[in-house]
Copies of this chain bind each other. A is one copy, B any other.
């Protein structure tokens, strides 16, 4: 890259040299659209169409109830879990695809507290401004357990020092959903273990976005999302991880029949299934799981380090180009400028962030807005081109130059965005 100002040609050249370029054609992208919101809802792998039609027309409609065995529906959560494991540095039997992130967090928090029984520890520690559902699920747990648990929420800068001998469980999201800030999972996990605490990592914005090596850092537990970077479809099943060394002591309260050692014995007493299977609760949505598996299969063909390299380069270029083109418009980059501290997104603050994001969407550059003032852009190397980075900033520049964001139609704040 020259120190001259960036030109479109620079991006085109990078696309020509991109080792991941061939993946793009495996996804459907709307024409002329620059989709920088794959960190919220990933795009559709084209193979999903045929797979879902097969699930509907053959597996469900023709094979019906026999599909639980013959088409391996029963095994799907474990089978897909084993595949996801390969993306996050886990082993077979350590990951299961099931339920939602929030529900999986609930299971793991209780399981972790159960492992800490007798230690006198009762603190669950998390970060202020963590993705809200993590904090809300902590609140929900406290509403049941009362004085048996104490919630401690600290600022990012005080996490490490707050992990002390009172802490039972640390619940952290490694990549912050709003800023993209990437925590050091290794050092925080080491700190926690030194102090006798267990850590639950929320990988919602890292699984599929960057290399994650859970066993490499001796992680205890983790959860992650199927529908963001993993492209599993809207509201796709989530996943959870429990390290093998903890599985013998695993006990969770959402003990439905699918977590039973012999679900079809139909006995009145619960007996937890072996290992990670005990984290299942009940009948899982086959449509959602099947669609997720299509996408995971595709991910397994990608080199996650190549994904990371492209992601870092795209984010760096986006920040640089924003500076070159839009320095007059008071955008404040709130994502770390140092790529080693950043996930796969770039966020910046602007007091008119909402209408500006809407004006960009109107011009087919899709990012999103997070209250109160954050414009957020996710970079998903499997299906984005480098020229998408160029295009996004050029569109933003035009909007700011022409003041087209300042129109009535962009000012309405929706109830849900």
CB distance from A16 to the nearest CB of B (A): 27
Q: Name the residue in A60, A69, A153, A267 with the highest tally of chain B Cβ atoms < 10 Å from its Cβ.
A: A60
Interface string of A339-373 (1 = CB under 8 A from B): 00000000000000000000001000010101100
Q: A100-B256, A270-B136 are in contact. Are A235 and B43 (CB under 8 A)?
A: no
- For residue A68, CB closer than 8 A to chain B, the reply is yes
Q: Would you call A285 and B287 a contact (CB within 8 A)?
A: yes
Q: How many residues of A contact B (CB 8 A)?
A: 92
The one of B65, B130, B371 in contact with A41, judged by C-beta atoms closer than 8 angstroms, is B65
The one of B56, B103, B282, B291 in contact with A254, judged by C-beta atoms closer than 8 angstroms, is B103
Q: Would you call A266 and B41 a contact (CB within 8 A)?
A: no
Interface string of A230-267 (1 = CB under 8 A from B): 00011111000000000000011111110110011111
Q: Would you call A270 and B416 a contact (CB within 8 A)?
A: no
- For residue A322, CB closer than 8 A to chain B, the reply is no
Q: Would you call A106 and B254 a contact (CB within 8 A)?
A: yes
Q: A102-B281, A136-B257, A235-B284 are in contact. Are A43 and B68 (CB under 8 A)?
A: no
CA of A285 to CA of B74, assembled, Å: 18
The one of B49, B235, B417 in contact with A57, judged by C-beta atoms closer than 8 angstroms, is B49
Q: Would you call A133 and B265 a contact (CB within 8 A)?
A: no
Q: Would you call B283 and A287 a contact (CB within 8 A)?
A: no
Q: Which of A88-96, A138-146, A214-222, A298-306 contacts B (4 or more CB under 8 A)?
A: A138-146
Interface string of A384-417 (1 = CB under 8 A from B): 0000000000000000000000000000001111
CA of A28 to CA of B53, assembled, Å: 14
- Chain B positions within 8 Å of A264 at CB level: 371, 415-417
CA of A164 to CA of B35, assembled, Å: 60
CA of A130 to CA of B243, assembled, Å: 34
Q: Report the nearest B residue to A29, measured CB to CB.
A: B61
Instruction: Given A44-B61, A102-B256, A233-B285, output 14 extra A-B contacts at Cβ < 8 Å.
Output: A37-B65, A48-B56, A52-B53, A68-B417, A99-B99, A128-B268, A135-B270, A137-B254, A137-B255, A140-B252, A234-B285, A234-B286, A234-B287, A263-B416
| A interface residues (Cβ-Cβ under 8 A, vs B) | 28, 30, 35, 37, 40-41, 43-44, 48-49, 52-53, 56-57, 59-62, 64-69, 73-74, 99-103, 106, 110, 128-133, 135-137, 139-141, 143-145, 153, 178, 227, 233-237, 251-257, 259-260, 263-270, 281-289, 291, 361, 366, 368, 370-371, 414-417
Chosen A-B contacts, 26 in total, with CB atoms closer than 8 Å, are A28-B61, A44-B60, A48-B56, A52-B287, A64-B366, A69-B417, A73-B235, A99-B103, A100-B281, A100-B283, A102-B256, A106-B253, A132-B268, A133-B256, A135-B268, A136-B256, A136-B257, A136-B259, A139-B269, A140-B253, A143-B251, A153-B268, A264-B415, A264-B416, A264-B417, A287-B288
